[in-house]
Amino acid sequence: MKNIDTSRRNFLKTTSLTGVGLMIGFNSFGKDKTPKKLSQVGNAVLDLEINPFIIISTDGTISLINPRPDMGQGSTQAAPSLIAEELEVSLAQVKLIQSDGQSKYGSQQSGGSSTVRGLWTSLRKAGAAAKEMMIEVAAKRWNVSISECYAQEGKILLKNSTKSFSYGELVDDASKLTVPKNPKLKDPKDFKILGKYNKRLDVPDRVTGKAVFGIDIEVPNMVYASILHSPTIHAKVVSIDDTEAKKVAGVLQVLKAERQMPHRTSETVAVIATNFWAAQKGRKALKVTWDNGDLSKMNTDTYFASTYDAAKKEGIRYEEKGDFNAKFVNAKQKLEANYETPFLAHAPIEPECAVVHQKEDGTVEVWAHVQGPDGALGDVARYFGVSKDKVKINVPLLGGSFGRKAYHDYLNEACFLAKILKKPVKMLWTREDDIAQGPYRPGMLSAMQGFVDNGKITGYHHHAIGESIVGQVFKGLAPDESDPWLSGEISTENSKYEFPVAKVSWTNVKTDIPIVWWRSVYASNMGWGQECFIDELAQLAGKDPLEARLALIQDVRYRKVLETLAEKANWKEKLPTGQAKGLAVFASFGSISACCMTVSKNGNGIKIDKVVSVLDCGYYVNPDHVKAQTEGNIVMGITAAIKGGITFTNGVCDQSNFHNYNVMRIKEAPKMEIHIIDSGANPGGVGEPGLPPIAPALGNAIFAATGKRIRKLPFDIDNLG
């Protein structure tokens, strides 16, 4: 995981400090000063790689490389759109190739809502450089100045004439040029693709069953594997009785295997068969004795009890303005409240799987739905003890991920088997593996304190408590350090709340339950405490929740988001008794998002009548992607508030499949409306920022409608207690 480790940590750390406009450090564009001739017959160039992202062939084929795997967020369209805009080609006329992890493509991790904001300048420069080279060649051939030439639809045209050259006709001469270092980028007002509604060109394949996902990969002579994991996740195998398993028709072999997580390796038992059904049946027939060590003490109840204990103590300070403790003691109007968020499984609808083959010559080929082919390349090379040039990574589509498939335990499991079997093996998890084996979003506690004075919120303390992703996954957290991924998210620098007195602190409560990033990472936990508590303080101050927020925020973009939300959701509208609105705002991954929920009393519970979300993500590629992602965040955010919740009793996960790990179904999905603010700011994230305000907007609406303040997620929407 080292590749992901450094890039993601640095990236998020920096993001949370700088807010928007972050460029992920990758400068592969222009690394090669001269274009690379990929194939040559005699002196004629057939395929020219102008820079790693563009290949133009003499037959006219234009291929663009998408450096970010697609898990549904639309990167197969978004990333190439950045190149196509400047190269002056339409996406319909190009061939798309998914990058394979090689370092020349830079960071290829789909994560941290980084695709568009991370590639905004570099991929446009890649396209612009290629276009300038084509213009230079055409100008020379026509013996005119470059200002008389322009690019359109994959051709260079001569102004005031009918003359034109296709890019394919210019490639041979272009191969002799130096790639311009600082090509001129288009003025956003001239954009033809970026910022415009475009249908995703891969949707037809996704509605006809033709789209190829990780689970669909088949290679000749492939065997199938199903792996039995210990119910306590981490364990050693004491004994295996495979008598019955081996009787299952199609079962070829049973072997002790391993699951390597970044922080821990566990023993497992794998059943190899001629088909997956046989492998699964064989696995069910296994009798395995496990040594679970002391993991029977792994309980979510004891974990949360420890977090509540920690809430009574002082944490590690991340930020402090004024002497909060002294002022809090003396404050006349003050509040304290603890907000709890559960562990959650990602439960991507396509379970984890991978196909791995180590060939006779020692080289390794992988077909796996990973979020980052570059990280996978490093992990696979390390696993087999071979250099990266001996590994080929193929990335099919991801059937959902939400962070899960950037954690390569399942890929490592397939590598382990491929190393022994010496033939291609397809390892597929069941839903039970996915739900009961983790890793999970960590359950967290937000211990909130605050005070008001003269109708104003004047003091605020957010004490975040729980297991650390940086600490557990990367073993990268010093004992006196607050988790850098989290502290930035809850800092006043990020919230823009200008409290006269403020404190942000952190306490690490450890657990053996494996954890990892989940859609919007800690923001998904922390938005709940922050935004519900602001409403509690507003009430104490006797202020309207919107007015109380606007009184604390001067930042122009944040104010605009809130004001737009108030207008679009008709915040001031008079509603009948039993119906009310609640709102929340949270910034993450370089974008600002706010949500307003309208709810109605429904027996002892409530129902959600409408959700309005507003997002300022700066420049974006496709407004429909932005809307779709925000719709997804609304559904996932409500699900995280009222469904699911992973619990462990005596070391074992209490949930196993969708019958007891509930997720939202269509009948529960509310009507929703998304508004995008065209701020013209640097691009921010889109895949995640819509999620953090959802749960608190719901909690605040429920309080407004019923007077019941909910502080623990998940809760039963049909019975508020």
For the chain, count helices (H), then strands (E).
Answer: 20, 28
DSSP one-letter string for 118-152? HHHHHHHHHHHHHHHHHHHHHHHHHT--GGGEEEE
Q: Which of 41, 143, 187, 207 binds another protein (CB under 8 A)?
A: 207
Coil, strand, or helix at residue 57?
strand
131, 200, 543, 675: residue in contact with another protein (rule CB under 8 A):
200
**Closest distance to another protein from the beta carbon of 391 (Å):** 25
| Residue 634 in contact with another protein, rule: CB under 8 A | yes
Which CB atom, from 606 or from 691, has the smaller least distance to another protein? 691
Tell me the closest approach of the beta carbon of residue 390 to another protein, in angstroms: 29
Name the pairing type of β-strands 364-368 and 316-321: unpaired
Binding residue for another protein (CB under 8 A) from 56, 62, 347, 702?
A: 347
Residue 258 CB, shortest distance to another protein, in Å, is: 24
Give the Cα separation of 52 and 649 in Å (integer). 50
Report the distance separating Cα 165 and Cα 134, nearest Å.
Answer: 9
Work out which of 636, 677, 681, 701 binds another protein, going by CB under 8 A.
636
Closer residue to another protein, CB minimum distance, 146 or 249: 249
d(CA 630, CA 372): 23
Q: Given strand 155-158, what is the order of strands in its sheet?
A: 149-152, 155-158, 164-166
Site membership for another protein, residue 72 (CB under 8 A)? yes
305 binds another protein (CB under 8 A): no
* Site membership for another protein, residue 176 (CB under 8 A): no
Picking from 682, 606, 505, the residue whose alpha carbon sits closest to that of residue 18 is 682
Q: CB of residue 215 vs another protein: minimum separation in angstroms?
A: 6
Residue 372 binds another protein, judged by CB under 8 A: no
Q: Which is nearer to another protein, 72 or 342 (CB)?
A: 72
Q: Is 517 in the site for another protein (CB under 8 A)?
A: no
Phi, psi of 210 (to 5 degrees): -85, -20
Contact by Cβ (8 Å): 553, 563: no
| Sign, CA torsion 349/397/273/375 | negative
Site for another protein in 667-696 (CB under 8 A): 667, 669, 671-672
Instruction: In angstroms, give the least distance from the CB of 535 to another protein.
Output: 25
Integer Cα distance of 149 and 270 in angstroms: 63
Work out whether 548 is an interface residue with another protein (CB under 8 A). Answer: no
Token pair, residue 632, equals: 């997804």
**Is residue 181 a contact residue for another protein (CB under 8 A)?**
no
**Residue 387: is it exposed, middle or buried by C-beta count within 10 angstroms (0-12/13-18/19+)?**
exposed
Q: For residue 529, state whether it binds another protein (rule: CB under 8 A).
A: no
Residues 6 or more apart whose CB falls under 8 angstroms from that of 691 comprise 519, 520, 523, 524, 527, 593, 633, 636, 637, 640
| Contacts with another protein, 649-668, as mask; x by CB under 8 A | --------xxx---xxxxx-
Sequence letter at residue 662: N
Determine phi and psi for 437, rounding to 5 degrees: -110, -10
Write out the H or E segment, with its range, that includes residue 89: none
Residue 244 binds another protein, judged by CB under 8 A: no
Cis, bond preceding 714 (omega within 30 deg of 0): yes
Task: List the one residue from 7, 58, 66, 73 that touches another protein (CB under 8 A).
Answer: 73
User: Half-sphere exposure of 609 toward its Cβ, with a 13 Å CA cutoff?
Assistant: 16
Is the preceding peptide bond at 439 cis, omega within 30 degrees of 0? Answer: yes
Interface pattern 252-291 for another protein (x via CB under 8 A): -----------------------xxxx--x----------
Q: Does 219 bind another protein (CB under 8 A)?
A: no
Shortest distance, position 656 Cβ to another protein, whole Å = 9
Please identify, using beta-carbon distances, which residue of 181 and 199 lies nearer to another protein: 199
| Chain residues 430-449 in contact with another protein, contact rule CB under 8 A | 430-431
- Smallest gap, in angstroms, from Cβ of residue 204 to another protein? 6
Whole-number minimum distance, CB 19 to another protein, in Å?
26
Q: In terms of CB distance, is 351 or 442 closer to another protein?
A: 351
Q: Per rule CB under 8 A, is residue 623 in the interface with another protein? A: no
Name the residues that contact another protein, by CB under 8 A: 70-74, 199-200, 203-213, 215-216, 218, 249-250, 275-278, 281, 347-351, 397-402, 428, 430-431, 624, 628-629, 631-636, 657-659, 663-667, 669, 671-672
